[in-house]
């Protein structure tokens, strides 16, 4: 079921239908707080009122033309300027995707690095950071190379590793050095069994192994999951290692478990919520549907109620 739903993410016919259909939008609102920079900043203000940080993602993956890539970069620069001007840069950083910065264009590694460096410089100028999301396994090497290249000039650039990939234990060792901001997540893409664990129990086990490596390392682990068992294991491990509260953070996606965000923040942990915004919400939304069958039910009910 999960793979069928993920397959929809790249189906242009289904995409055109969903985007043009208002009931779908009503369900999307749960996971995407809005389309504009103002909507994103409002979400940061609301979260910060509860002591919760944000990482803002301007939706627009797989940008296939120079114009689309340039528009993405321009929006990130505008967003960072406003975070600084409106006194919110202590509460929010940005998350960017290599595919939105031009990785798929000719000479993509050079183009995406140049764009990532511009965004990192703008973030640095207002006192915040950038994390480079991880996409499907074909781009893992290129994305880690991008993170490492950005870190030469901006050492606080964050990277992301996906526990479901069989290679990730080695990558955790590579990204657990001093100061290394590394988000560990399960992985949201439809990956083949040749490179990825496909059973839920195996992915969980791999996540725990990654967590142990990162929490024992000298970096700044960013524990990205909604899974109650993994959150509990992380808390126990943090206690055991006596890790200072400013040396790691928990991360959740906007709209998935708001109660858990507040519970973790009230327990004294740094919590950061991943806030996507923009008009190009389709691919992100389909991945959220694939993660939980009840989300799919929400959508079906919304469609039926207007039919």
Ligand X SMILES: Cc1cc2nc3c(=O)[nH]c(=O)nc-3n(C[C@H](O)[C@H](O)[C@H](O)COP(=O)(O)OP(=O)(O)OC[C@H]3O[C@@H](n4cnc5c(N)ncnc54)[C@H](O)[C@@H]3O)c2cc1C
Give residues in contact with ligand X (CB under 6 A). 133-134, 160, 162, 183, 185-189, 224-227, 251-253, 256-257, 274, 288, 291-292, 295
Rounded Cα distance between 129 and 275, Å, is 15
Candidates 183, 272, 287, 288; catalytic one: 183
Nearer to ligand X, 229 or 267 (CB): 229
183 as an active site residue: the answer is yes
Contact call for residues 200 and 187 (beta carbons, < 8 A): no
Rounded Cα distance between 273 and 258, Å, is 9
Q: Which residues pair with 132 in a beta bridge?
A: 96
Number of CB atoms found within 10 A of residue 174's CB = 14
Tokens of 139: 């781009």
Nearer to ligand X, 118 or 257 (CB): 257
Which residue is it, tokens 């000298």?
Answer: 218
Candidates 133, 171, 190, 280; catalytic one: 133
133 as an active site residue: the answer is yes
Nearer to ligand X, 41 or 211 (CB): 211
Helix (H/G/I), strand (E/B), else coil: 55: strand
Contact call for residues 40 and 79 (beta carbons, < 8 A): yes
Q: How far is the CB of 58 from ligand X (least distance, A)?
A: 14
Nearer to ligand X, 257 or 262 (CB): 257
Tokens of 85: 């001007």
Interstrand relation of 249-253 and 53-58 (parallel, antiparallel or unpaired): unpaired
Number of CB atoms found within 10 A of residue 107's CB = 9
Nearer to ligand X, 193 or 307 (CB): 193
**R_g of the chain computed on alpha carbons:** 18
Q: How far is the CB of 38 from ligand X (least distance, A)?
A: 22
Helix (H/G/I), strand (E/B), else coil: 102: coil
Q: How far is the CB of 165 from ligand X (least distance, A)?
A: 9
Q: How far is the CB of 70 from ligand X (least distance, A)?
A: 23
Q: How far is the CB of 249 from ligand X (least distance, A)?
A: 10
Residue positions annotated with a catalytic role? 133, 183
């Amino acid at each position: 079921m999960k793979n069928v739903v993920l397959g929809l993410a790249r189906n242009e016919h289904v995409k055109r239908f969903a985007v043009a259909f208002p009931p779908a939008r009503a369900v999307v609102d749960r996971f995407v707080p809005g389309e504009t920079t103002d909507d994103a900043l409002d979400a940061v203000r609301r979260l910060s009122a509860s002591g919760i940080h944000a990482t803002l993602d301007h939706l627009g993956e797989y940008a296939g033309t120079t114009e689309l890539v340039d528009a993405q970069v321009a929006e990130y620069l505008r967003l960072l300027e406003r975070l600084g001007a409106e006194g919110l840069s202590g509460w929010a950083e940005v998350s960017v995707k290599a595919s939105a910065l031009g990785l798929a264009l000719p000479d993509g590694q050079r183009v995406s690095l140049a764009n990532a460096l511009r965004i990192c410089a703008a973030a640095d100028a207002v006192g915040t950071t950038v994390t480079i999301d991880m996409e499907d396994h074909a781009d893992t090497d290129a994305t880690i190379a991008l993170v490492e290249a950005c870190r030469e000039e901006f050492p606080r650039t964050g990277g992301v590793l996906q526990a479901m990939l069989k290679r990730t234990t080695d990558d955790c060792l590579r990204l657990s050095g001093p100061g290394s901001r590394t988000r560990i997540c399960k992985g949201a893409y439809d990956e083949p069994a040749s490179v990825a664990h496909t059973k839920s129990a195996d992915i969980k086990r791999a996540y725990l192994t990654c967590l142990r490596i990162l929490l024992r390392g000298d970096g700044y682990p960013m524990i990205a999951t909604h899974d109650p068992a993994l959150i509990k294991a992380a808390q126990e491990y943090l206690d055991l290692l006596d890790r200072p509260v400013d040396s790691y953070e928990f991360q959740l996606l906007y709209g998935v478990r708001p109660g858990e965000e507040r519970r973790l923040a009230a327990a004294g942990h740094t919590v950061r919520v991943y806030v996507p915004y923009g008009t190009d919400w389709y691919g992100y939304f389909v991945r959220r549907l694939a993660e939980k069958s009840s989300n799919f039910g929400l959508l079906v009910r919304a469609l039926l109620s207007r039919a």
